[in-house]
Amino acid sequence: MTDARLFRLLWLSIAAAAATISLKVLAWSVTGSVGLLSDAAESAVNLVAAVVALLALRWAAKPADQEHAYGHAKAEYFSAGVEGSLIVVAALAIVATAVPRLIDPAPIDDVGVGLAVSAGASLINLGVGLVLLRAGRRHRSITLEADGRHLVTDVWTSAGVIAGVAAVALTDWQRLDPIIALAVAANIIFTGSSLLRRSVGGLMDRALAPEELQRIHDVLAPFEREGIRFHALRTRQAGRRAFISVHVLVPRAWTVQHGHDEVERVEAALREALPYATVFTHLEPLEDPRSYDDTQLDRREAPAG
C-alpha cells in the first residue's frame, strides 16, 4: 500500500466519524436517551483517534535518518495507544452520565426517528470499519487495524443501544436506558484495554507472531540440510516493518566470498517470505567455540582458541 492510499483511508475514517457524530448527536437530541448519548460519545472518540492516527502515520512514513536509523515506524504504536486511552476516557465519561440517570430515571421521546438516524450512522461506520480492517491486516498497519476495529466495535455498540432503546419504548422501563449506557461503557473499556496492550507490546519490541516465526524456520530448513547452521535468531515488530537478526554458521574452510554468497541467498529467501522484513545476518565459522558464546543479547566473552 502506498502512503498516499493509506492517508486517503484515514481521511475517509475522519469523514465517517464526523458524519456519525452529527447523526448520533441528532438522535440523542431528539430522544434524550443517555444510551444514544453514550453512542455519540464513542463516535467523538473515533474522530479524535482518526486525527491522531493520521498524524502518527505521517510521522511513521518518514524515511530513516541519522537520528532514527531504523526509521519511524513505531509511531504507529503511539497512535494505537492514544486511541485506546481515549476509548477508556470516553467510557468513564459515559459512566458519569449514566449513573445519575440510573438513580433518577427520565423518559425518552421520539424513539422511532432517533433510532432510524442512529441506524444510518451505524451503517456508515460498518462500511468504513470493514474497509480499514481489511487494509490494516493486509498491509500490517496497526493504526488502520485499530481504527477499523474501533469502528466495527462501535457498530456492535450501536446495535445494542438501538435494541435497548427500542425495548425502553416498548416496556416503559426507564432505567433500562442508563443500564444500556453502562453496558456500552464496559464494552468499550474492553476494546480500549486491548489496544493499549497491543501498543505497549509493540513499544516493548515484541517478537513476530508464531506463524511468521514458523515461516522463518521453514525458510532456513533447506539451508540447514546443506550443512549451514543458524542461531541467535531474534525478531521484532515495528509498525508495518519487521526486523530479523540471525547468525549464520558455515565451515571454516569456505572462502569469505563463498560464505558471503550463501548469506546473500539466506537473506534473499527471508525477504521473499516476509517482504516487509529487514534482515541482518552475522557470518561465523562452525568450528570456532567463540561462535557459540554469541547467542544471547549480552555476549559472554571467551578466550581466543
* pLDDT per residue of the chain (305 residues) written in tens, 0 to 9: 456 777 788 788 888 888 888 888 888 888 888 777 777 877 777 787 778 777 777 777 777 777 777 777 777 777 677 777 777 777 787 787 778 877 877 777 777 777 888 888 888 888 988 888 888 777 767 667 777 877 787 787 777 778 777 887 788 787 877 787 788 778 777 777 776 777 777 677 788 989 999 999 999 999 999 999 999 999 988 777 889 999 999 999 999 999 999 999 999 999 999 998 999 999 999 998 888 877 777 766 655 54
* Residue bearing cell 504504536: 77
Provide the pLDDT for residue 1: 46
pTM of the model: 0.59
Question: Which pLDDT value is given to residue 3?
Answer: 64
* Amino acid, single-letter form, for residue 17: A
Domain chopping of the chain, boundaries: 3-203, 210-293
The pLDDT assigned to 246 comes to 96
Give how far the C-alpha of residue 75 lies from the chain's centroid of Cα atoms, to the nearest Å. 12
User: Which residue is listed with cell 565459522?
Assistant: 285
- Compute CA 139 distance to the chain's CA centroid, rounded to the nearest angstrom: 11
CATH of domain 210-293: 3.30.70.1350
The domain defined by 3-203 carries CATH number 1.20.1510.10:
yes
How far is residue 247's CA from residue 229's CA, in Å, rounded to a whole number? 8
Nearest partner of 49 among 75, 13, 6, judged by Cα: 13
Indicate the residue type of 129: G
DSSP 238: E
pLDDT of residue 250: 95
